[in-house]
């Protein structure tokens, strides 16, 4: 059943228009129905924008009223809290490549140990932000557009830059 849902999601449902195009409510509803059956957890009123990629969804949890942004790519064990806003083209990668052994080409070393990503409640992740393995963002954080988040930040942090740094506290 999951294989059929994945084929339907990636082959059709992920392309249904989003707001403000006509039919966007239908697209949101169809994607939500499918994703509820695929994700490890999917809360109420979750919005999945078009072209969102999350693999088979078995390691992704999304809280109530959160949004997965257009063209976002979520890979690995990721937990997203309630009321999270996500801009387009966001990347969250809980996985990476191994590279420690310089006698073996990196493309032959396989994956590094996965490090989970945790996003708190009421977080805003800006357009094209990248969140790297092992990052935890506390509740109330704001991640600026284009930020590359390589370390964790506490509640109510406003962060941005490459690598992301604390700009101020809310």
List of long-range contacts for 158-161, beta carbons under 8 Å, 24+ apart: 160/126
| Residue 20 confidence class, pLDDT cut points 50, 70, 90 | confident
Question: Over the stretch 31-59, which tens digit does the pLDDT of each residue have?
Answer: 999 999 999 999 999 999 999 999 999 99
CA distances from 50 to 14, 29, 77, 104, 128 (A): 5, 12, 21, 39, 15
Neighbouring residues of 136: CB distance < 8 A, sequence distance ≥ 6: 117, 118, 119, 120, 152, 153
Q: What is the pLDDT of residue 17?
A: 84
Question: Over the stretch 58-78, which tens digit does the pLDDT of each residue have?
Answer: 999 999 999 999 999 999 999
Residues in the chain: 170
Token pair 């924008």 in the structure block, residue = 49
Backbone torsions φ then ψ of 136, nearest 5 degrees: -120, 125
| Residue 23 confidence class, pLDDT cut points 50, 70, 90 | confident
Is 9 a residue whose pLDDT tops 90? yes
The secondary structure of residue 53, as a DSSP letter, is: B
Q: What is the pLDDT of residue 141?
A: 98
Q: Alpha-carbon distance 141 to 48, whole Å?
A: 21
What is the set of active-site residues?
97
Measured on CA atoms in the order 161, 129, 94, 116, is the torsion positive or negative?
positive
Question: Over the stretch 87-132, which tens digit does the pLDDT of each residue have?
Answer: 999 999 999 999 999 999 999 999 999 999 999 999 999 999 999 9
More confident: 144 or 1: 144
| Strand arrangement of the beta sheet that strand 117-119 belongs to | 41-42, 60-62, 78-80, 117-119, 136-137
Fold exhibited by the domain 2-169: UDP N-Acetylglucosamine Acyltransferase; domain 1 (2.160.10)
| C-beta separation of 38 from 2 below 8 A | yes
| C-beta separation of 85 from 123 below 8 A | yes
């Amino acid at each position: 059943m999951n294989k059929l849902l994945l084929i339907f999601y990636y082959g059709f449902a992920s392309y249904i228009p989003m707001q403000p195009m006509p039919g966007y409510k239908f697209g949101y509803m169809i994607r939500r129905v499918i994703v509820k059956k695929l994700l490890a957890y999917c809360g109420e009123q979750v919005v999945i924008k078009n072209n969102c990629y999350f693999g088979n969804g078995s390691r992704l949890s999304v809280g109530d009223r959160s949004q997965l942004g257009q063209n976002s790519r979520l890979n690995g064990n990721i937990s997203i809290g309630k009321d999270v806003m996500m801009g387009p083209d966001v990347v969250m990668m809980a996985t990476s490549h191994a590279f420690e052994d310089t006698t073996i080409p990196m493309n032959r070393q396989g994956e590094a140990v996965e490090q989970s990503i945790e996003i708190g409640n009421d977080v805003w992740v800006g357009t094209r932000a990248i969140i790297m393995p092992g990052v935890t963002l506390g509740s109330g954080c704001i991640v600026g557009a284009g930020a590359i988040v390589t370390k964790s930040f506490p509640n109510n942090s406003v962060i941005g830059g490459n690598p992301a740094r604390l700009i101020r506290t809310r």
